Amino acid sequence: MKDRNFWFVIASITVVFLVYWLLGHPYFVTERFIMLFSIVTLSATLLYYIRAAERGEEFYLRPIPALKAVEEAVGRSTEMGRPILYVPGIQDMDQVETVAGVVVLGHVAKMTARYETSLNVPVSRSIVMKAARESCREAYMVEGRPDMFNEDMVHYLTDDQFAYAAGVNGIMLREKPAACMYMGKFYAESLILAETGNSIGAIQIAGTASQAQIPFFVTACDYTLIGEEFFAASAYLSQKPELIGGVKGQDMIKLVVISVIVISAIIMTVYESTGIGFNIIKYLTIR
Amino acid sequence: MEFSTILGAWVAAFLTIGIFSYLYKDNPFYKAAEHLFVGVSAGYLLSLGFWTQLQPNLFGRLFPAKHYDPDTITYTIYNVLSFFSSSIFPEGGIDKGHDQHLTYLIPLALGVMMLLSLIPRFSWMARWGIAYVVGMAAGLKAYGYLNSNVLGQIKGTAVNLLDFSLPVFSLSSPSIFNNIIIFVGTICGLLYFYFSKEHKGLLGKASKIGIYFLMISFGASFGFAVMGRISLLIGRFTDLIKYSGSEYNYATFWVLFIIVGALGYAAYKEEDRGVIAPIDNLGSSTEEE
């Protein structure tokens, strides 16, 4: 009960909802109650831990080798005097992975500004180009090196998937970057990119939640951020309390989900074996 | 056969073999194919986007032919635009079967704001468009993801672990063993992504089992995708074989002969230069060191 304001708001919302429920809950779709409950629980858990982190509570985050390798890769590029190639996927900003990719790009840009290493970001969507440019511009400003930023470091190639892959391959072969980073949403071009990066001897770090593409990155890259690791990357790289609080909140949500799975499986086993209890699947189904 | 078809086959054979020549090394044929591919696709998709999205769905809803009335302000503006480009704004309004929705002025304004990034003074306006796209997508997808990825996963894992009506072991159909695998795999997989505690002891063991499950599924996915890629490769080879026939004037063979010949000659010349170069540069060898 450390966060009194938080618990006060939760209690107030609960009371208001109870009053509304007792008054006959007009316009409320009862079949979707489980969704409302899930959204409120998950949001409240995230908010609680973000507020806790902002208040100064410290949370431990286990090390992820791929994230440590990001700085290593920037350092290697600096030593070799070669650029870093950053590919933020082939999808638009409406994909959460692309958003995460652009956020991580901001951290990488900070490092390249610090180490005075050149950065090359070919993109396949116009809105991603604008967002990536803004992200890089801000990173160079924060590091006090606006002179090093130029808009052409983030440049558009094409929207077409394989034409984009061919274009990025060409850049790799001609510029020979020392490090290639693939962070975003990928499809069939993932192996084409990662294989080419491997053939030029670049250190490669990938991050994606595209389940079908993770195997290719695991095979061809030195380090791969798998799914959730990729989304937690910005918290690791920035060490901002609110982001670390968010990661802790997500961990607690995972524990809740595991608990619900175990309880649901027990209820289903008892219900189907003995007829005692109820069919929990019915309550988890949204109509 | 028509000349244009034969020419198309020659171009297709040249581009396919040009892209394949990358397997040898970066060369002018690959560069030509790559630049053509990137440039043509960018231009083609821009045109496609304009004529299939922007013109019918945006302008078609702002100036529909159904509500055409030259006396209104909207259609007065339309007629001015029509004077400049009658293909985009045809006379009498755009007939795509839409009703007039002036709410589409909002996406039009956001689009114009994105274009304003070309003017440094107004480039900040583009952020509004980006903010709209990101915010809208986050809100819209949160519900769907929660339903399919969280509740759906819980429902899929809430299985009867002691269902004796099922066989104990079966690979391709439901069985007690498969139910236990689903249950253990999901929980251990989730625990692998638990970041705020060191993976030691019981958690360490569970997360190790989780990563084994993940790697096995990645391996299966890898094999499946490789099969798909092989079928794509077969598709290209089928085309190349087709173009190697007499009706296409042996396009594949000729193109292959020209590209391999040119690359072989270039490699020979390069090697030749490589032998001579050190002799020529003997005097400046200390400088290079």
Q: Which fold has domain A65-238?
A: Rossmann fold (3.40.50)
- pTM value is 0.88
- Whether residue B22 lies within 8 A of chain A, CB to CB, comes out as yes
Query: ipTM score here?
Result: 0.90
- Whether residue A29 lies within 8 A of chain B, CB to CB, comes out as no
Domain boundaries, chain B: 101-157, 159-247
CA distance A188 to A181: 17
Residue A122: φ, ψ to 5°: -80, 135
pLDDT of residue B151: 92
Query: A62 and B153: CB-CB below 8 Å?
Result: no
Name the token pair of B187.
Answer: 């929980």
Chain region(s) in chain A for CATH 3.40.50? 65-238
pLDDT of residue B275: 52
Task: Check residue A81 and give left, alpha or beta (phi > 0: left; psi -120 to 50: alpha).
Answer: left
Residue holding tokens 């929660």?
A: B146
pLDDT digits (tens, 9 = 90+) for A180-221: 999 999 999 999 999 999 999 999 999 999 888 999 999 999
Q: Which among B40, B114, B219 has the least Cβ separation from residue A130?
A: B114
- Per CB-CB distance under 8 Å, the chain B contacts of A273 are 160, 162-163
Query: A273 and B163: CB-CB below 8 Å?
Result: yes
pLDDT digits (tens, 9 = 90+) for B222-244: 888 888 889 989 999 999 999 99
Name the token pair of B264.
Answer: 């072989």
Nearest to A84 by CA among A183, A157, A166, A220: A183
Q: Which amino acid is at B93?
A: G
pLDDT of residue B26: 87
pLDDT digits (tens, 9 = 90+) for B41-71: 999 999 999 999 999 999 999 999 998 999 9
pLDDT digits (tens, 9 = 90+) for A19-31: 999 999 999 998 8
Query: B146 and A39: CB-CB below 8 Å?
Result: yes
- Whether residue B190 lies within 8 A of chain A, CB to CB, comes out as yes
Distances (CA, A) of B114 to A123, B86, B107: 16, 25, 10
CA distance B280 to B289: 16
Percentage of chain B modeled with pLDDT above 70: 94
Q: Which among B42, B154, B195 has the least Cβ separation from residue A247?
A: B195
Residue B120 in this model has a pLDDT that exceeds 80: yes
pLDDT tier for residue B288 given thresholds of 50, 70 and 90: very low
pLDDT of residue B287: 36
pLDDT digits (tens, 9 = 90+) for B179-202: 999 999 999 999 999 999 999 999
Q: Which of residues 109-138 of B touch A (CB under 8 A)?
A: 114, 117, 126-127, 129-130, 133-134, 136-138
Residue B217 in this model has a pLDDT that exceeds 60: yes
Residue A148 in this model has a pLDDT that exceeds 80: yes
Query: A163 and B38: CB-CB below 8 Å?
Result: yes
- Round the average pLDDT of chain A to a whole number and report it: 93
Residue B211 in this model has a pLDDT that exceeds 70: yes
Residue holding tokens 């900070």?
A: A110
pLDDT tier for residue A89 given thresholds of 50, 70 and 90: very high
Q: Which of A72-81, A253-262, A264-273, B278-287 has the lowest mean pLDDT?
A: B278-287
Q: Which of A2-16, A213-227, B46-60, B261-275 has the lowest mean pLDDT?
A: B261-275
